[in-house]
Amino acid sequence: MERWINKIAVVTGASAGIGAAIVKDLVDADVQVVGLARRKERLEELKASLPIERQSLLNVIECDVTNLESVNKAFDEIIDKFGGVDILVNNAGVSKVGQLVSLDIPDVEKIMQTNVMGVVYCTQRAFKSMKERNVNGHVIMINSICGHKVIGIPGELQGSNMYSASKYAVTAMTEVYRQEFQGLGTKITITSISPGFVDTEMIKDVWKKALGDRILQPRDISNAVLYTLSTPPHVQIHEMIIKPVGEFF
């Protein structure tokens, strides 16, 4: 991780769960982190929870990744203050309970706008910054096993609805970006990290009860992020699938 010390990492969906764990570990690795989230007050609480000597390494910006104007405003602020972006972690994501045949259309649109278009908005801005400065940056997608297999929810009718479709899109986008990064003459790397069920606010209590100890913790995914970043610049970890031991799927 030495080559990333004092570099700029942008983490979306940074206020809780996997995003918050990634922020903490990057700060511990002496990376300058910019946390983006809609709930700025949660970001401020996260910053206050850090050791006092490390709080200056976390900068918080309110940002709704579903809104292009909000994303552009956030990245303009980042570039004005820090000069550019070296690492982007596309972590923001949402899911909704229900079946695709009957799910409210605004909920379907929210999933796609967050999980797909939010990635596009942020990646375009981060890539532009990396390419203009000719840096060997790294883009990380927090994907899902649902981006590789349509799965049912324990004890319920199939309910991954548009969430799985959006994560399949992320899987495809990862390869599209890899080819484009190479074709455009950069050495920017990209990694898709696909966890199984993770103990976050996104998982309902009834599901957690059904899963028991067959569930990952946010820190498990953060450890994977640090591992991918710690590899040499010539190494491309394209896809990493992480499951808890004994997972159903």
**pLDDT score of 247:** 78
Looking at the predicted structure, is the pLDDT value of residue 171 above 60? yes
**pLDDT score of 140:** 98
The burial class, CB within 10 Å (0-12 / 13-18 / 19+), for 18 is: buried
| Residue ranges of E strands in 16-170 | 32-37, 58-62, 87-90, 138-142
Looking at the predicted structure, is the pLDDT value of residue 204 above 80? no
**pLDDT score of 213:** 78
In the chain, domain spans: 2-242
What are 50-83's pLDDT values in tens digits?
999 999 999 999 999 999 999 999 999 999 999 9
Q: For residues 157-171, give the mean pLDDT.
A: 87
Q: Considering 121, 163, 168, 177, which one is annotated as catalytic? A: 163
Q: Average the pLDDT over each of 74-88, 105-119, 184-198, 209-223 and give the range with the smallest value.
A: 209-223
The answer to whether 163 is a known catalytic residue is yes
Which pairs with CB-CB distance under 8 Å and at least 24 residues apart come from 197-206?
A: 197/244, 197/247, 198/17, 198/18, 200/16, 200/17, 200/18, 201/16, 201/17, 202/17, 202/93, 202/94, 202/95, 204/97, 206/155
What are 74-133's pLDDT values in tens digits?
999 999 999 999 999 999 999 988 889 999 999 999 999 999 999 999 999 999 999 999
pTM: 0.94
Instruction: Please choose, from the candidates 208, 221, 115, the residue with its C-alpha nearest in 3D space to the C-alpha of residue 164.
Output: 115
Q: Tell me the fold of 2-242.
A: Rossmann fold (3.40.50)
Contacts of 88 (CB under 8 A, 6+ apart): 9, 10, 122, 123, 126, 137, 138, 139, 140
